């Protein structure tokens, strides 16, 4: 009797850093992607923002490819005739939308040292922001447990499954950690702690509800923001554009610039954002850094090449 594989909760930062494939034993061996933190991923549960859906079907065959972001990065999902339920769900979904995905891990290695990861979905359904926030919290807990297990393993000479189990870690995780340490060697756990920290910050109530002028400044070399003036009524988008960014950090400034320039479903052309940001003393290089951060957080997406839109 085959035991149904656990659906791991893994952030995109951890999953996309994985390069180790492993096959189980038995008549029907199960294949795994082993992450740097020891998760033996065959099935996974992901909740994030669907930012893009592409119909790539040929000759009447239904097939869709989608991108789903969490606060640490992006997952790639593909569903076709062998995943009819998931394909139908994607065909009816309009980005941006929150979605929960349960599916199988998949790796494609075209050459040695190069691995592309994706998810083959079993089920996809649209959810709300509360479900996404709960997934982030639970995934953060699971990730921190794996970080601790890896750090314990790195302190062993050599790390063993039995040794980790004596410390209270389940056998499945202990086995994954030992394999991960053997393959990835010196694992930078601080990097993954940072990813957890960024993910949790994205759902903190004070981050969402506190007035923008009171937000802690980003760690950058930009000038300190001035106090925000009293809010005045705005009649046009042009007036709003000239007032954007006073007393706010750089990310908020760029988000408000995008809102003021947004012309509809297609979003805002990149060159217009660059021009508007320049007027706010944000050069193109710095703007690209800010936009990359916003993309990673799932706050903006690219509906088509050269167009950016706030979620």
Put simply, whether the predicted model's pTM sits higher than 0.75 gets the answer no
Rounded-to-10 torsion of CA 158, 159, 160, 165: 140
Give the pLDDT confidence score for residue 130 in this predicted structure. 92
What is the rounded average pLDDT for all residues in the chain?
81
Residue 224 DSSP symbol: P
The answer to whether 81 and 63 have CB atoms below 8 angstroms apart is yes
* Nearest CA among 1, 3, 2, 6 for reference residue 105: 6
Q: Give the pLDDT of residue 5.
A: 73
- Rounded CA-CA distance 245/225 in Å is 9
Residue whose C-alpha is closest to residue 143's, from 286, 15, 48, 19: 15
Interval 237-250 mean pLDDT: 44
Predicted pLDDT at 288: 79
Tokens describing residue 306: 């050269």
71 falls in which pLDDT band (50, 70, 90)? very high
Where in the chain do CATH 1.10.10 domains reside? 212-310
CATH value of 7-201 in 2.40.160.60, 3.40.50.2300, 2.40.50.140, 3.30.70.380: 2.40.50.140
Closest CA to 33 of 102, 99, 118: 118
Instruction: For residues 93-104, give the mean pLDDT.
Output: 93
- pLDDT confidence band for 270 (50 / 70 / 90): confident
Mean pLDDT, range 177-195, rounded to an integer: 95
Residue ranges of the chain assigned to CATH 2.40.50.140: 7-201
Which CATH number does 212-310 carry? 1.10.10
Q: Which pLDDT belongs to residue 69?
A: 95
Query: What is the model's pLDDT at position 252?
Result: 85
Which residue stretches of the chain are H helix? 12-15, 84-92, 129-154, 161-166, 171-184, 189-201, 205-209, 237-243, 250-261, 270-279, 284-297
pLDDT at 249 over 80: no
Q: Please tell me the predicted confidence (pLDDT) of residue 19.
A: 92
Strand 64-70 with 73-79, pairing: antiparallel
Confidence of residue 296 (pLDDT cuts 50, 70, 90): low
- List the beta bridge partners of residue 111: 114
Max avg pLDDT among 43-47, 51-55, 212-216, 289-293: 43-47
SS3 19: coil
Torsion angles phi and psi, residue 106, rounded to 5: -140, 140
Q: Model confidence over 29-40: pLDDT tens digits?
A: 789 999 999 999
User: Could you tell me the pLDDT band of residue 135, with boundaries at 50, 70 and 90?
Assistant: very high
pLDDT of residue 303: 66
């Amino acid at each position: 009797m085959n035991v149904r594989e656990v659906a791991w909760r893994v952030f995109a930062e951890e999953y996309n850093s994985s390069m180790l494939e492993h096959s189980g034993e038995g008549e029907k061996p199960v294949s795994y992607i082993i992450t740097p933190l020891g998760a033996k991923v065959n099935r996974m549960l992901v909740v994030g923002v669907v930012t893009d859906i592409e119909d790539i079907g040929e000759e009447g065959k239904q097939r869709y490819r989608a991108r789903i972001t969490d606060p640490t990065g992006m997952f790639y999902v593909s569903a076709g005739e062998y995943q009819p339920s998931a394909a139908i769900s994607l065909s009816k979904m309009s980005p941006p939308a929150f979605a929960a995905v349960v599916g199988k891990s998949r790796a494609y290695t075209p050459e040695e040292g190069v691995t592309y990861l994706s998810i083959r979905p079993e089920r996809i359904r649209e959810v709300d922001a509360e479900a996404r926030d709960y997934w982030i919290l639970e995934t953060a807990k699971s990730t921190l447990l794996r970080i601790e297990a890896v750090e314990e393993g790195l302190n062993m000479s050599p790390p063993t499954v039995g040794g980790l189990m004596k410390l209270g870690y389940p056998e499945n995780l202990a086995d994954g950690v030992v394999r991960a340490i053997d393959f990835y060697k010196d694992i930078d756990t601080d990097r993954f702690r940072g990813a957890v920290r960024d993910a949790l910050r994205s759902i903190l109530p004070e981050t969402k509800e506190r007035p923008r002028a009171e937000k802690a400044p980003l760690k950058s070399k930009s000038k300190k923001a001035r106090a925000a003036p009293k809010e005045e009524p705005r009649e046009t988008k042009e007036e709003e554009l000239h007032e954007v960014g006073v007393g706010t950090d750089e990310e908020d400034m760029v988000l408000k610039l995008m809102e003021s320039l947004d012309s509809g479903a297609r979003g805002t052309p990149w060159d217009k954002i660059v021009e508007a940001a320049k007027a706010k003393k944000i050069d193109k290089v710095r703007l690209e850094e800010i936009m990359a951060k916003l993309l990673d957080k799932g706050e903006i997406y690219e509906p088509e090449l050269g167009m950016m839109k706030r979620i």
